[in-house]
Amino acid sequence: MDRRTTIKWMLAASAAIPSLRSFGYTPEPLARDVAANQAGYGTDPELVREWKPGGPWPLTLGVQARLTTAALCDIIIPADEHSPAASAVGVVEFIDEWISAPYPQQRGDREIILPGLVWIDDEAKKRFGKTFAALDQKQKIAIADDVCSPAKAAPQFATAAKFFAKFRDLTAGGFYTTPVGMKDIGYTGNVPLEKFDGPPLEVLKKVGLA
C-alpha cells in the first residue's frame, strides 16, 4: 500500500468516526469512505459482459477489515465435504462490494457491518488478546455462540447479534449464488433442456402425491 492510500484511509477513518462512535466503539483505519457523489451502475448498464467486485464502484475495506471479514465468513460457511469455505469463492470481495455500493440499502448495511467488524475484533482482544482472525477455532466459536441467535443473545450482545445476522445473510447470499454454492445447496437448473419433465416419481411419492 502506498503512502497516499494510507493517508486516504486515515482521513476516511476520521470521517467515519461519528457513525462508529454512535455504537460506542473506538475507530481504527477500517475502510475508505464511499464518496457522497459515488455513482452506481446507472439505469442502462451493459448486461452482456462480466462484472466483478470493484468494477462499478471502488471497494473500500481496509486490510484488517478484510481479514476479519474473511474469518467471520468462514465461521459461518466453513469448508465441508460438499464445498469450500465462503472466503475461497470470493465472498469477501462480494461483501466489500456490497458495503461499498452507493445505494440506500447498502449504505444502511454498511452502518451495521463496519461497526460490527470493529466490535468483533475488540471483543476478541478483550477475551483472548488477539484480533478475531488470529483466534483459534474454539475461541472464534466462543464468540459466535454468544451472537449467532438474535432471539437468544444476552442483552449485552443484542446489537452484535443483529450485526451477525446481517453478516450471515450477506455471506449466504454471496456464497450460494456462486457455481459451487449453487451446487452445494442443490440447484441443478440453468441448463438448456429439450423438454421439461416436472418432478420425478420418487419426489412425488415422498410428498404423498403419487
Among positions 71-100, residues that touch other proteins (CB under 8 A) are 75-78, 80, 82-83, 90, 94, 97-98
**According to the 3-state scheme, what is the secondary structure of 19-81?**
HHHCCCCCCCCCECCCCCCCCCCCCCCCCCCCCCCCCCCCCCECHHHHHHHHHHHHHHCCCCC
Subset of 21-80 contacting other proteins (CB under 8 A): 40-45, 47-48, 50-51, 53, 55-56, 75-78, 80
What the block records as the C-alpha cell of 198 is 416436472
Which lies closer to other proteins via its Cβ, residue 1 or residue 36? 36
Helix (H, G, I), strand (E, B) or coil at 108: helix
Which lies closer to other proteins via its Cβ, residue 103 or residue 128? 103
Q: Is the Cβ–Cβ distance between 116 and 166 less than 8 Å?
A: yes
Shortest spacing between CB 76 and other proteins, in angstroms: 5
Which lies closer to other proteins via its Cβ, residue 82 or residue 127? 82
Subset of 115-144 contacting other proteins (CB under 8 A): 141, 144
Nearest to 33 by CA among 56, 15, 55: 15
Q: Among 21, 152, 154, 158, which residue sits at the site for other proteins (rule: CB under 8 A)?
A: 152
Taking the mean position of all CA atoms in its chain, how far away is CA 56? 18
Which lies closer to other proteins via its Cβ, residue 130 or residue 206? 206
Compute the distance between CA of residue 77 and CA of residue 84 in angstroms, rounded to an integer. Answer: 8
Compute the distance between CA of residue 47 and CA of residue 1 in angstroms, rounded to an integer. Answer: 33
Which phi and psi angles does 125 have, rounded to 5°?
A: -65, -40
Count of residues that bind other proteins according to CB under 8 A = 73
Shortest spacing between CB 27 and other proteins, in angstroms: 26
By CB under 8 A, residue 190 contacts other proteins:
yes
By CB under 8 A, residue 9 contacts other proteins:
no
Shortest spacing between CB 85 and other proteins, in angstroms: 10
Q: What residue has cell string 475507530?
A: 27
Q: Among 64, 69, 87, 106, which residue sits at the site for other proteins (rule: CB under 8 A)?
A: 106
Which lies closer to other proteins via its Cβ, residue 7 or residue 141? 141
Shortest spacing between CB 203 and other proteins, in angstroms: 5
